[in-house]
Amino acid sequence: MSQTIEFFWEPGSPYTYLAGTQIEKVAAATGAKVVWKPFLLGKVFENRGMKMPASIPAKASYMFKDLARWAQIYQVPLTMPTVFPISSLIASRAAIAASQLGFEAAAAKAILQTYWGEGLDISQPEVLSAAFTKAGLDAAAIFARAQEQSVKDQLKENTEEALKRGVFGAPTMFVGDAMFWGNDRLEQVGLVLAGKIKA
């Protein structure tokens, strides 16, 4: 039976974007499946009494340099968004709606690429709609589904699950009960899946 990587992701997190460009490669190398779980990181920070990293000037200065280095390593575009930080509610609901319609990975990657690859404002429905259309997805169907209560409930459940399982940042990945935080833990995820190290 194939293993699963549960990928708790937040559209407003640049490290989520970086991990999102690589996680399916890690999964493919070991025959694992990725389950994309959008959640509201702001709610997690609030619950844990944490500050957003970018709100600390010294950390923000370091973070943007670090992000640029990772983008070079992964050979992916990185553009500082026109609006940051951002409300990710609309994008997260759209991601869950897309998941219910059967194309979670494509929608997630379109959202992350649009915000962090192109720097566009994903809190605007028209921006998201264009991103989904560009990715070959049915934007109208996604937004129609995003209005349903089941989508809102799922986002709340994902966020509550993240809190219960000890999540404190994004991205966070689980292989079984083992938790891994940050794009720089992807190597560990791959090694655990391959049975080369213990979780």
Residue of 94, 122, 93 whose CA lies nearest to 13: 122
Cβ-based neighbour number of residue 131 at 10 Å? 24
Structure tokens at 178: 């083992």
In 3D space, the residue among 25, 32, 30 whose CA is nearest the CA of residue 5 turns out to be: 32
Of residues 2, 13, 61, 129, which has the active-site annotation?
13
Rg (CA), the chain: 16
Give me the amino acid identity at 94: A
Residue 99 annotated to the active site: no
- Main-chain phi, psi angles of 7, to 5 degrees: -110, 100
Pairing state between β 172-175 and 178-181 = antiparallel
Active site residues: 13
